[in-house]
Chain A
């Protein structure tokens, strides 16, 4: 099994719908992150969490919310999806050695 698992892998949704992207990890890491990736842009941080009781906004949090259900689970929600939220979304974890472990990504299309 992958260290960081994201579901779904692909999703097409309509404008205005609520959608949740899920992430689970088996690394035992406390720190978890959600990034989005767009053509021509670097990965941009949406939200991050350093433990179950800690949630922090990243640089592009508007339109998104997160929930850290357990150390191993961190979900990202789009309350009312809009077309410019079409992107690749990555969940990542990190331990004390700084480097990230990324999931395989979720390709989200909002039509």
Chain B
């Protein structure tokens, strides 16, 4: 059982380049999330999708876009990468019940030079 799969694991971008981080889950979960984690800042919510067909902004959405392609997949796009977007990005998913835990992917370590 793969759980939540994120690709790529590592990425180096130059300022101004664009890229898409991919996330897929095979647990039939309704809700999916993108977080970024920086030292001393904890996990900050970028965007989330409460259910297929909906997306909402989190705490730090500027500079990012998301697509809930279908129930399984939730991608995060950086249109014009900036050094401030250097971070570890985690995708997570959870089922529809209110007492359901988050399942995290292994993270993508992104460096923007």
A and B part of one assembly: no
Chain B residues in the interface with A (C-beta under 8 A): none
